[in-house]
Amino acid sequence: MPDLQRLRPDHAPAVLAFERENRAFFAASVPDRGDDYFAQFDVQHAARIAEQAAGICHFHLLVDGMGEVLGRFNLVDVANGAADLGYRVAEKATGRGLATATVRRLCVLAAEEYGLTALRAATTLDNPASQTVLTRAGFVATDEEVLLSGRPGRGYLRDLDRLCVAQGE
């Protein structure tokens, strides 16, 4: 299993390569980051490190044995024991259960290391792979209808206290 690592400043080149290599793939199912993200990547990366240091967010990378980023798994807007989960997996790493396994690991990490009690997530309605990852990782669809960059989506919730114990995680 690839290693789940907390985002560090020295990850910047590998993260940028991951985002560039998978941009078109991601844009087919999640909102595109836009050209400014790539033009200002160093500033963006430094901002993520600062947010993490402040405890507002927890950013993670799924890294293979060669140091290549296979996925990003983020907990953002941490407040009142909850956070929003976001993730993206490289096209070449899809279909192997890595996203589901990593989201499960991140749920345990969120509860045990960050003291969170709930995670929220959202995905577009036309992204069945992400919906499957979330439900397999113990998230429950809510009645919340969301718009993600103008695309209709659905909200999900995972109660970490109840579900981690129930699933023996």
Query: Containing domain of residue 114, as a range?
Result: 3-167
Count of domains observed in the chain: 1
Tokens standing for 56?
A: 């507002």
Q: Each residue of 55-94: pLDDT tens digit?
A: 999 999 999 999 999 999 999 999 999 999 999 999 999 9
Put residue 43 in one of left, alpha, beta given phi > 0 → left and psi -120 to 50 → alpha: alpha
Burial of 22 (0-12, 13-18, 19+ CB in 10 A): buried
Phi-psi region of 67 (alpha: psi -120 to 50; beta: other; left: phi over 0): left
Backbone angles phi, psi at 87, to 5 degrees: -155, 155
Instruction: Give the CATH number, domain containing residue 42.
Output: 3.40.630.30
pLDDT in tens, the chain (169 residues): 799 999 999 999 999 999 999 999 988 877 788 899 999 999 999 999 999 999 999 999 999 999 999 999 999 999 999 999 999 999 999 999 999 999 999 999 999 999 999 999 999 898 899 999 999 999 999 998 899 878 899 999 999 986 444 444 4
Give tens-digit pLDDT for 152-161.
999 999 999 8
